[in-house]
Amino acid sequence: MSETAVKTGHPKGLWVLFGTEMWERFNFYGMRAILTLFMINALMMKEADASIIYGGFLGLCYLTPMLGGFIADRFFGNRNCILLGGLMMAIGQFLLFFSASIFGSNLSLANTLMWSALGIIIFGNGFFKPNISSMVGSLYPKQEKTKLDTAFTIFYMGINLGAFLGQLICPIVGDVKDAGGIRDIHAFKWGFLAAAIAMLIGTAVFYFLKNKYVVTPEGRPLGGLPSKNDAADYEEGESQKAVFSQKALIGAVVGFLVLGIIFHYVIGQNWIYTVIYSSGITLAGLIISDSSLTKIERDRIFVIYIVAFFVIFFWAAFEQAGSSLTFIADNQTDRNFFGWNMPPSMVQIFNGAFVFIFAFPFSVLWDYLRSKGKEPISPVKQSIGLALIAVSYFIIAHNVKDLGNTGLLGIQWLILLYLIQTFAELCLSPIGLSLVGKLSPKRFASLLFGVFFLSNAAGYALAGTLGSILPPTGDKYIAAEKANIDLKAILDGEKVADGTELFTLAKMNFAKVNADVAKENKLDIEKKIKNIAQIKSEKELAIKNNKPFVNNFKATDTTFTPQELDMIKSKKVIVAEYPTFAGFTIKTLFDFFMVFVVLCGLAAVVLFALTPKLKKMMHGVR
């Protein structure tokens, strides 16, 4: 064991991985803070659509670790995948920078660049995420695995220090409003540029320090090519290679197709969410079909799967931070923070700050309880985390209950929500990573980290679905009133909107356009809305650059005839209504928050009830 390990209890390689992950999380969370605001303010998307895209993006970011883990375990090794992933994410951020630089003059190309950037970031994250987590576990020989809860909590401090810095700097430079509250939509590019630079720094840190510090206690490099793995790294009698039969591989392909049909055509999920759910379940099933698994290994893997299922509900609630909670912070929150009007995208910074403050005390708490023989097993800690996140939403639900349609929520309640959710996160996320490190057979280490991240993927996909049911916030009612439209009366069915009102609400992204009905009646509504957005963007850019504005669109490119407006109403081409979930109509923010109280509360109770059985299946691992 190295001298540093003797003195501190942890090898220096942990701090190299800490620093690498810190800069990567700066990049990811900084971009995440402003992404949905960029979509709705610059690219003119609806909030519901931005939430769905956001959920799908994050879901795919945590699905591709399955692929990245597999490639690392079989071909490239952890080190090479971390470097490849880091460079890909930096490229993706630079593409977002270019998208945010040109949307005012070419909205179509800006959208294309945005989609390309998200795709590259998704695969980059897939290569990076499971492999750096796997390397944390690999730093500790099997006789020191009891230190993993503490090691992953320290590692989690790096994650959240990076998140804090990203959520501080990217909104400061990218989410800029003037004294009158008018947002400079051309500033988003600087936030994305800051994220790109951070990712380059993180990749460089790993590249230059990996050979010296990311090594075994004997000094052998960790995470190299799989062909150079040392048999000494495996436990006695443990297989070094997975064995998948041809029957199992064919069954996985068939299972993926069948699940895809069920999720898309029966349950009604979009194709991105269908791929996330179907491929995750299929790959998890493929792992358990490995004929080399012993009963103990198989039981432990099932524990990972069961815990991962319940973690889905945690992330579905937690990841409202980047979508619905940001929209609420932007549109119905008094953000006065000690005399400073905080940018809405920065409000979520409190989570990163609180994790950094409380991660070490939590690690000390676990060490203390362990020394007294009173430390709860991992599934109990995670059920506590689920219960805490339910409590956080219960508190805020009752604080928005009497706001009405236009009252402002005090920022202190969002800060309290993030504080409680931080405690929940520290009981669940690093503990889950540690659990995978303890229970995984080494030949499946990276791949099972990918499977665990599948719970993040599914949770984020569910987060996108739940974020899209956010009811109209105060700004919607105020903007509709300025346009002489009684939005509440329309939503409550007390008034029938005419075609002009419906088109106005659609332009404001308050009403839904039925694309199929619009196409049947030859009403190109979405095109005209995009033309209006293009005109607005070009006009703002011209004013910003002190240049004359020239409107190159005709009146027919942005308006409808009276007959077409009547058709919009009679054929229900545009519909203004409250969102629904599981048969319930979500009319208020109270209704919205109570959805998370019920989901996470039930998940906490059921997981806690299962812990005696899970303890037996862990076969002595705590």
Residues in the chain: 622
Match 């057979």 to its residue by tokens: 441
Indicate if the pLDDT at residue 223 is higher than 60.
Answer: yes
| Confidence band for 592, pLDDT divided at 50, 70 and 90 | very high
Query: Which range is least confidently modeled, 124-128, 142-146, 419-423, 603-607?
Result: 142-146
Indicate if the pLDDT at residue 135 is higher than 60.
Answer: yes
pLDDT (tens digit, 9 = 90+) per residue, 160-171?
789 889 999 999
pLDDT mean over 347-373: 85
Of the two residues 474 and 156, the one the predictor is more confident about is 474
| Confidence band for 591, pLDDT divided at 50, 70 and 90 | very high
Predicted local confidence at residue 595, as pLDDT: 97
0.95 surpassed by pTM = no
pLDDT mean over 380-394: 96
Predicted local confidence at residue 6, as pLDDT: 39
| Confidence band for 2, pLDDT divided at 50, 70 and 90 | very low
HEC profile of 21-77: HHHHHHHHHHHHHHHHHHHHHCCCCCHHHHHHHHHHHHHHHCCHHHHHHHHHHHHHC
Predicted local confidence at residue 216, as pLDDT: 74
**Residue type, position 481, single letter:** E
Report the mean per-residue pLDDT for the chain: 86
Of the two residues 515 and 31, the one the predictor is more confident about is 31
Indicate if the pLDDT at residue 3 is higher than 50.
Answer: no
Domain ranges of the chain: 3-221+246-471+589-617, 475-544+557-577
Predicted local confidence at residue 4, as pLDDT: 41
Predicted local confidence at residue 149, as pLDDT: 66
Match 């840190």 to its residue by tokens: 205
| Confidence band for 454, pLDDT divided at 50, 70 and 90 | confident
Query: Which range is least confidently modeled, 47-51, 85-89, 435-439, 576-580?
Result: 435-439
> Which spans in 332-377 are helix H?
349-371
Q: Angle 501-505-508 (CA atoms, 0-180°, nearest 5)?
A: 145
Predicted local confidence at residue 614, as pLDDT: 92
Instruction: Rounding to the nearest 10 degrees, give the CA dihedral for residues 501, 505, 508, 510.
Output: 170
Predicted local confidence at residue 150, as pLDDT: 73
The tokens of 492 are what? 């409550």
Strands 336-337 and 340-341: antiparallel
The tokens of 63 are what? 């699905």
Helix/strand/coil for 447? helix
pLDDT mean over 555-579: 91
Task: Answer yes or no: CATH 3.30.70.2740 is held by domain 3-221+246-471+589-617.
Answer: no
Indicate if the pLDDT at residue 233 is higher than 60.
Answer: no
Query: Which range is least confidently modeled, 75-79, 219-223, 330-334?
Result: 219-223
